[in-house]
């Protein structure tokens, strides 16, 4: 199997993880900023180069990064939706559309057992590719 054939799946998962982290970072930073603006820290004086004085900039940068990653994810989904082949369809439906194997079997007009077997083979192949540093 071509080592790069299903690299999109690894990239998709990586982008999703980055989005989750950026969302967490944004919430955390906005919460901290709120404390400095109107919360329990609002009466304290900020030093010019302190971390707290940089919070607005960090929020802006994080929002920009998050928007970029979401756009990147959407572009990858569009690209992957154009891929042909049963293996790509199974992987797309399972890991992007979040369908279970029963739903995939119904959508693709295959038996559940056959889709389960193909999915198991794909997981094994991807595991081997992972070990080869996909």
Which tens digits make up the pLDDT trace of 93-131?
999 999 999 999 999 999 999 999 999 999 888 876 566
Is residue 1 predicted with pLDDT exceeding 60? Answer: no
Q: Would you state the pLDDT for residue 54? A: 86
Nearest partner of 15 among 90, 66, 91, judged by Cα: 66
Q: Helix and strand tally (H, E) in the chain?
A: 5, 0
CB 125 within 8 A of CB 4: no
CB 62 within 8 A of CB 26: yes
100 three-state secondary structure: coil
Give the pLDDT band of residue 134 (cuts 50, 70, 90).
Answer: very low
Kindly state the average pLDDT of the residues 67-95: 93
Q: Is 0.75 topped by the overall pTM?
A: yes
Kindly state the average pLDDT of the residues 31-38: 87
Is residue 69 predicted with pLDDT exceeding 60? Answer: yes
């Amino acid at each position: 199997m071509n080592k790069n054939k299903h690299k999109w799946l690894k990239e998709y998962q990586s982008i999703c993880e980055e989005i989750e982290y950026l969302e967490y970072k944004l919430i955390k930073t906005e919460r901290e900023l709120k404390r400095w603006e109107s919360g329990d820290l609002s009466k304290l004086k900020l030093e010019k180069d302190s971390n707290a004085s940089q919070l607005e900039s960090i929020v802006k940068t994080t929002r920009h990064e998050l928007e970029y990653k979401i756009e990147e994810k959407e572009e990858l989904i569009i690209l992957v939706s154009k891929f042909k082949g049963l293996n790509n369809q199974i992987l797309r439906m399972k890991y992007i559309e979040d369908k279970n194997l029963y739903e995939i079997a119904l959508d693709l007009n295959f038996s559940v057992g056959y889709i389960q077997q193909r999915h198991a083979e794909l997981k094994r192949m991807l595991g081997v590719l992972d070990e080869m540093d996909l």
